Amino acid sequence: MGRKFFVGGNWKCNGTTDEVKKIISTLNAAEVPSQDVVEVVVSPPYVFLPLTQASLRPDFHVAAQNCWVKKGGAYTGEVSAEMLVNLGVPWVIIGHSERRQLLGESNEFVGEKVAYALSQGLKVIACVGETLEQRESGSTMEVVAAQTKAIADRVSDWTNIVIAYEPVWAIGTGKVATPAQAQEVHHELRKWLHANTSPAVAESTRIIYGGSVNGANCKELGGQPDVDGFLVGGASLKPEFIDIIKAAEVKKSA
Residues that bind ligand 13P (CB under 6 A): 10, 96, 166, 171-172, 210-213, 231-235
- Exposed, middle or buried: residue 147 (CB in 10 Å: 0-12, 13-18, 19+)? buried
**What's the closest the beta carbon of residue 126 comes to ligand 13P, in angstroms?**
12
136 is catalytic: no
| CB atoms inside a 10 Å sphere around CB 56 | 20
Task: Tell which phi-psi region holds residue 109, choosing left (phi > 0), alpha (psi between -120 and 50) or beta.
Answer: alpha
What's 45's DSSP letter?
Answer: -
d(Cα 85, Cα 124) in Å, to the nearest integer?
Answer: 12
Which is nearer to ligand 13P, 1 or 102 (by Cβ)? 102
**What's the closest the beta carbon of residue 36 comes to ligand 13P, in angstroms?**
25
96 is catalytic: yes
Which is nearer to ligand 13P, 182 or 232 (by Cβ)? 232
Q: Which of 39, 98, 130, 166 is catalytic?
A: 166
**What's the closest the beta carbon of residue 129 comes to ligand 13P, in angstroms?**
9
Distance (Å) of CA 17 to CA 48, 93, 199: 7, 21, 45
d(Cα 156, Cα 212) in Å, to the nearest integer?
Answer: 31
**What's the closest the beta carbon of residue 73 comes to ligand 13P, in angstroms?**
28
3-state class of 201 per DSSP? helix
Closest residue to ligand 13P using C-beta atoms: 233
Which is nearer to ligand 13P, 111 or 167 (by Cβ)? 167
Residue 128 bridge partners (DSSP): 165
What's 46's DSSP letter?
Answer: G
**What's the closest the beta carbon of residue 212 comes to ligand 13P, in angstroms?**
4
Which is nearer to ligand 13P, 96 or 251 (by Cβ)? 96
| CB atoms inside a 10 Å sphere around CB 117 | 28
Which is nearer to ligand 13P, 202 or 248 (by Cβ)? 248
Q: Which of 39, 61, 96, 112 is catalytic?
A: 96
Q: Does residue 82 contact residue 116 with C-beta atoms inside 8 Å?
A: no
Q: Any idea which residues carry the catalytic annotation?
A: 96, 166
